[in-house]
Structure 1
Amino acid sequence: MDANTSVEQNMTQVLNVIDDLDMGLAQEIQDLLTPLYISKYGQFFQQTVFGIPFANLVLAVFVFLFVLLLRKFFTYIVLSFLQRVAKRSDTFYDDRIISALKDPLRFGFIVIGLHFFFLLVFMETDFVKNVLNTLLIYTLFWAILSVTEALRELLYGLTSKFNPDLSKEMGNFILTILKIFIGGIGLAAILQVWGINVTALIASLGLGGLAFALAAKDTASNLFGSFALLADKSIRIGEWVKVGGVEGVVEDVGMRTTKIRSFQKTLITVPNQLVANQPIENFSRRGIRRIKMHIGLTYGTSSEQIVNIKNDIETMLREHEGISQKDSLMVYFDSFGDSSLNIFIYTFTATANWEKYLETREDIHIRIMKIVEKNGSGFAFPSQSIYVESLPNP
């Protein structure tokens, strides 16, 4: 017997939880049925239903229902008591762990009940044992994954010590990797229960490694793209960004994709390799917003009026509380248009908030209109003047 076969058998024996689960209880219960079989009602209890002695079938159903009763007792008494105790503690992690374990433990009681049921009706074959072992392993790793999810906030706290700005993104990434690792171990354990040599299976995958690598090329690119996004701190959850032709608020930065909620409320999923390799316009990281406009005055405006309007607009902007005085502020008579005398205005608001920006811009527009009206001018609109040198003789 080679070493791999020995290791495989030992592992299978360790994972064969069902064989040792009853601890001799089923045999003791079976011994209790002997007086029934030899009593004056023995002939009745020896009747078979689908090849199963009637006494064993009744007892199996009774034991299964008794386990379900224990399940309810455990859920409503034990877990409820533990939750009340946990609420008295300063931390909320114990509450979350107890809540996370509730469903896996309840399901575990069902698996145990099924084990005793099949054992008492003499139907616990190797196949049934493998199924029950699979369900128990599934329940165990379900509990581990649930506890891992319950400790998400704790992981955020740990990642915030390294990078407070990206604590959630890094925490989600690490949590995803951890869940995949735990799920992989659980899958390997289930395969081992069914007699599949996991080591040999992994080794055999090496034969198709090249094809797998080619098929997973995009997945690997997206994975490294997510690394780049986290390292560069290009985007964060909740920020307003524009990547290529996609614009919206970042909802999630995952291992493979970034999810962006557009302003039409549609959810756009972008592969991380595209996000990492395209220019990212991050609107949330600007502290100010630009106002750039031309106002056109009628050609009937005199040079003195234009100078007064220009100076009044510049004075108004420099005194406006919503305008950033640390950044560029320009007001110039810019050009002679086809139908207007154009004044160029270039400045920045003191806020990046869109609603406050719109309020500031609206106020500036109204003040400019009042300045133009005060100086006796008006706004031009596209028009043409036609000059007739002479009229034909009638």
Structure 2
Amino acid sequence: MICGVFSVWITQIFANMKISRYLILLIAVLTCSAFLCRGQTPASDAAAPATTSVEASAVEKKPTPEEVELQKRLEEMDREAVETAKNIRRHLRSVLEYVRGISPESANFLVEKYFGVRLIQYLAAFSTILAVFIIVRYVMGFPFAYLEKFFSRSDRTVFAKAFVSALRRPASMMVWAVGLYFALAFILRDSGTVAVTSRAVGILFWIACFWGVVIVCDAFFEGLREKLKARSASATANLIEFLRRVFKSIIIIIALLSILTNCGINVNTIIASLGIGGMALAFASQDTIANFFGSVSIIIDRPFIVGDWVKTSECEGNVEAIGFRSTRIRTFSKTLVSIPNSTLAKESVENFSKMPVRKVTQTIGLTYSTTTEQMEKALADLREAILEVEGVDRANGVLAEFVEFGPSSLDINLIYYTKRIDFAYFSATKRRVNLAIMRVVDKNGLSFAFPSTSVYIESGAEKA
């Protein structure tokens, strides 16, 4: 009854102060936990019947050593919480004695009981709540507000302002949890209720701590991902996003296990069941796991990144996206092909975007009427003319060699490199080179050969 009235009273005060809703929920959790668990006795006050009950339950199921150790640790925490509450009330009695020495009438007024609780206890609890409100709103608010303004003026810290603003909430929750514990310690006298309230405050405190760790993790990976995006390292940015989710999941799992342990639940059985379930899940999703590790190997080894021009055994095109299951390639005919990452990780992938220059190999044929001197002059002129063409890489040189007597032509093999590898530049360079070849052939009075067939007909027939 007392806890319920106190909960409604303080909640109404907080609502008038425009405190956020999660604080009102915090009060409700604490006070309802204490109210529902009234009458429980901690281990230090346990009587003989309780021991008999434990012995009876031990006959049914013998606790494991881990459970015994956990129970001892929780009982020690409960005893410390009860002793702390007694010390708090002892200081309150000292304050009352001090007031009695100054004004006995005021002391008599403060010891009057309402719903079984002295007025001085209500005043102490309210003063504690008010002090916490001032600390959170003004004392803590000033440095956080200063940091937010400071980082908002800095162009180098994109996420610092949001990080400081987000970190303010879990820090406030930690202070509220401790303050509410002290406030309830002034009012609650039952040892079992104090122990349960202490556990509830401990849970809320750890929730706030892990909440802050999650915010720090988010800010770190978000800043790292944006830096990689600025450098066009989108594939690595995808890996950073995945790592952020993994770390957040690990933090949440650790938080849940810590909370369950604080509630007196043995988490070893839960971990064992998760291990068995994980094995079953891994067996059922072998392809998914293989694709995931394939994506990790692609992102770490980086044989290609988003935007690269690649060729696989199945298709050729530009990489459009690298996911955790498959990689999507946009072909030159504008179709979209999705290839499992496990397949790409196992086969060879030709990455044309990694070419520093682009090679061109072509063969031209001259007619058989070309003389030796004309051929030698044409080869020298071709080398010189191609080197002078805009877009041809002079560092790698030009190869122009008479290589074969063809069926209907004298074949010349030409090899050169373009400075850039994109298709438009490559095609324009080839056009300029082909025009230069035609000019060299015309200048030397030569002709291009084309497939032809010579037919010889005899003038007469043999007589019988």
Structure 1 distance, partners of 2:249, 2:326, is 21
Partner-residue secondary structure (3-state), 1:264? coil
8 Å contact from structure 1 (residues 166, 236) kept in 2: no
| 1:175 equivalent in alignment to 2:244 | no
The alignment yields a C-alpha RMSD, in angstroms, of 4.8
Q: Could you tell me which residue of structure 1 aligns to residue 334 of structure 2? A: 265
Cα 1:327–1:269 change in 2 (3 A) is same
8 Å contact from structure 1 (residues 100, 147) kept in 2: no
8 Å contact from structure 2 (residues 221, 244) kept in 1: no
8 Å contact from structure 1 (residues 173, 254) kept in 2: no
Partner-residue secondary structure (3-state), 1:292? strand
Structure 2 distance, partners of 1:382, 1:99, is 79
Structure 1 distance, partners of 2:408, 2:217, is 69
Where do 1:230-249 residues align within 5 Å? 230-249=299-318
**Aligned-residue identity in percent:** 36
Cα 1:151–1:238 change in 2 (3 A) is farther
Structure 1 distance, partners of 2:300, 2:220, is 24
Cα 1:22–1:208 change in 2 (3 A) is closer
**CA deviation string 1:352-376 (max 9, x = no partner):** 2332221111101001111112222
Q: Larger C-alpha radius of gyration, 1 or 2?
A: 2
Cα 1:367–1:197 change in 2 (3 A) is farther
Q: Could you tell me which residue of structure 1 aligns to residue 445 of structure 2? A: 376
Structure 2 distance, partners of 1:246, 1:84, is 53
Structure 1 distance, partners of 2:211, 2:245, is 10
8 Å contact from structure 1 (residues 156, 167) kept in 2: no
Cα 1:150–1:262 change in 2 (3 A) is farther
Where do 1:31-70 residues align within 5 Å? none
More displaced stretch, 295-304 vs 15-24: 15-24
| 1:351 equivalent in alignment to 2:436 | no
The structure 1 residue matched to 2:378, chosen from 301, 309, 315, is 309
Give the CA deviation at 1:288.
Answer: 0.8
Structure 1 distance, partners of 2:306, 2:165, is 27
Structure 2 distance, partners of 1:381, 1:217, is 58
Could you tell me the TM-score, scaled by structure 2's length?
0.49
Write the letter of the residue equivalent to 1:171: A
Write the letter of the residue equivalent to 2:388: E
Write the letter of the residue equivalent to 2:158: F
**CA deviation string 1:177-225 (max 9, x = no partner):** 32245357769999999xx998755533444555433223223322332
Write the letter of the residue equivalent to 1:378: S
Partner-residue secondary structure (3-state), 1:306? helix
Q: Could you tell me which residue of structure 2 aligns to residue 61 of structure 1? A: none
Give the CA deviation at 1:270.
Answer: 2.4
8 Å contact from structure 1 (residues 240, 250) kept in 2: yes
Give the CA deviation at 1:277.
Answer: 1.4
Where do 1:102-113 residues align within 5 Å? none
Partner-residue secondary structure (3-state), 1:333? strand
Give the CA deviation at 1:385.
Answer: 1.4
Where do 1:324-339 residues align within 5 Å? 324-327=393-396, 329-339=398-408
Cα 1:392–1:226 change in 2 (3 A) is same
Write the letter of the residue equivalent to 1:298: T
Partner-residue secondary structure (3-state), 1:299? coil
